[in-house]
Amino acid sequence: MECPHLSSSVCIAPDSAKFPNGSPSSWCCSVCRSNKSPWVCLTCSSVHCGRYVNGHAKKHYEDAQIPLTNHKKSEKQDKVQHTVCMDCSSYSTYCYRCDDFVVNDTKLGLVQKVREHLQNLENSAFTADRHRKRKLLENSSLNSKLLKVNGSTTAICATGLRNLGNTCFMNAILQSLSNIEQFCCYFKELPAVELRNGKTAGRRTYHTRSQGDNNVSLVEEFRKTLCALWQGSQTAFSPESLFYVVWKIMPNFRGYQQQDAHEFMRYLLDHLHLELQDGFNGISHSAILQENSTLSASNKCCINGASTVVTAIFGGILQNEVNCLICGTESRKFDPFLDLSLDIPSQFRSKRSKNQENGPVCSLRDCLRSFTDLEELDETELYMCHKCKKKQKSTKKFWIQKLPKVLCLHLKRFHWTAYLRNKVDTYVEFPLRGLDMKCYLLEPENSGPENCLYDLAAVVVHHGSGVGSGHYTAYATHEGRWFHFNDSTVTLTDEETVVKAKAYILFYVERQAKAGSDKL
């Protein structure tokens, strides 16, 4: 929105010496000393934490509005108001009086000058920090997987995502998708969308609540978020613009209550798919898909219309086979899927730990076998037999007719009882490499051995007892190293830690056949 309060609130020099030392994204609140979500006041250059930390930035504005007792304020004092502040990580500007993000500037362009100054401070701090870390790495063992800095374990070049208020469900999914290389690269290579023109042309675009639905693009904000990760230019990125678009087009996720990560992932992929079908930035998605030879037509799976990169990578096809137990009539139906939701077999649901010695450990293969095994439908799911002309008892079996490039497996850990949604906390053993899906295929003889093997790329984990509470984190592999993503904190980890996780969502990437490995 066009804020009318900038002239009275933006009073600091762009290169003010009053700014704290160090990286702006790591500046500490002057009240509580928290370095999460720092905001700088554009009136006095003081730094405070955002409303989703301890809210001292807003309190700073509110305190400034209290009339000074026993002092007659001058006309100049009346004009000076601490209403406008800037996010030290994303450099977006917010006005508390307007209660909205700001897109305009002062006549002298002070807001943009402050933004550029903070960016320069961030880049300088990052360069110095990277040089220091490189020196530490050179002096450490070549086999060292972890880097200790100031007593904490940190990861090089990895960027966390700030929690905007119970948004860990979104952060875990975004970090997982950012480490699926083929999917991530497609979006990062898309051209940027220019949503504005005129006075704001060429400037960075910030979404505001006053913008209409036609001016928001989920694909564009998703692209910008992916581009911000793994650049190493900051320790944490604030996905507020993406979250705002999510609020706009996915009403189910409005507010700051905890949400289900799997449900969010499905909504996200579905809406990306629909937006790409409508074209993006005036360029047909199909034209961009054709430029990528690895996404050939034979690898595409159409869901709700034309194929996109979403269905080309995550899309598979199931064959649903139903047999009438009375007359033997067989019915077959093909269903496209983006992920498979697997039940944890009931005989394993009492096991809570990998090391608990009361029977065999549940494995991912057990869950897959339960999904594809022949099942007799109960009385509430009677099949309408077209030959018998009435509902009959029947059996059902799933086959996988086509495997996707990225196999997303969702373990159904949350189950409704009469009044509550309980969590199944059973540990499920899963392989890091070589998940063989050939035995679940409808026609395994038509698939090569390499096409059925999958290697783990990412894992989403839910910590806690219920879907409406707890916390989500993710593990993902990047350039041969495993990382743990916990909102704004990213740490290097090892395979032993990953395999002990109680997985909620698993992302497996199809293993590519090696050149010259064809059988004679």
Catalogue the active-site residues.
168, 471
Task: Tell me the C-alpha distance between 181 and 303, whole Å.
Answer: 22
**Which helix (H) or strand (E) covers residue 384, if one does?**
strand 383-385
Beta-sheet strands, E only, within 90-150: 93-95, 100-102, 147-149
Beta-sheet strands, E only, within 445-499: 453-463, 471-478, 481-486, 489-493
Task: Read off the amino acid at residue 336.
Answer: P
Residue 157's region, left for phi above 0, alpha for psi from -120 to 50, else beta, is left
Instruction: Give the CA distances from residue 153 to residues 37, 114, 150, 443, in Å, rounded to whole numbers and listed in that order.
Output: 21, 32, 8, 47
The stretches of 159-209 forming alpha helices (DSSP H) are 168-178, 181-188
Task: Tell me the C-alpha distance between 494 and 496, whole Å.
Answer: 5
72: tokens are: 């007659």
Question: Which one, of 300, 242, 305, lies nearest residue 277 by Cα?
Answer: 305
Contacts of 138 (CB under 8 A, 6+ apart): none
Question: Which one, of 161, 127, 90, lies nearest residue 489 by Cα?
Answer: 161
Provide the β-strand partners of residue 367.
Answer: none
Task: Tell me the C-alpha distance between 125 and 159, whole Å.
Answer: 15
